[in-house]
Amino acid sequence: MLDQIRYLGYVLKESTFKNQEVVSEGGFINLSSTLRDEVEGYIDEDKDHLFTLTVDAMLQGMDKDKVTVVFQCEQTLQLEFVCFDGPSKNTEDDIKKCVQDESWFFQNFVDLAVKTSVEKTLSDTSFENISIPPFSRRSSES
């Protein structure tokens, strides 16, 4: 089934950025993402099955003391995919199972979208030169 799936991009659904007005001489960042369990699907005019995955991401800039939060950025992203071959062979249940069974495949796109979106947000702040890693710590949804 993976050979029928293509990544279309992401949409930033929600974003917050909080600068804590802390004087800091350096530190580190924490980046995490949580892929929600829900898969939303629909059929387009070409009878291809499109589906979206929702991701919650959080970036925290931490001071050297490893306790003080210097800034925090939280985002909700919606990743969009298409599954060719029509809905008759790829039902919503099939796609949900594929996302669960092949989570490594989808996590690559999650990491790419989170990195790109967070960098874009930081580009409008004094933290624009912070290097964002190409992957995030995975969180499990509770």
The span from the CA of 17 to the CA of 25, in Å, is 20
The span from the CA of 27 to the CA of 64, in Å, is 4
Q: Confidence class of residue 94 from pLDDT cuts 50, 70 and 90?
A: confident
The tens digit of pLDDT for each residue in 39-83 reads: 888 888 877 788 999 999 999 999 998 889 999 999 999 999 998
H or E, element range at 11: strand 5-19
Bridge partners (DSSP) of residue 78 are 11, 54
The tens digit of pLDDT for each residue in 104-138 reads: 999 999 999 999 999 999 998 888 888 887 776 65
Q: Is the pLDDT of residue 90 over 80?
A: no
CATH for 2-127 is 3.10.420
Q: Confidence class of residue 86 from pLDDT cuts 50, 70 and 90?
A: low
Sequence spans of domains, the chain: 2-127
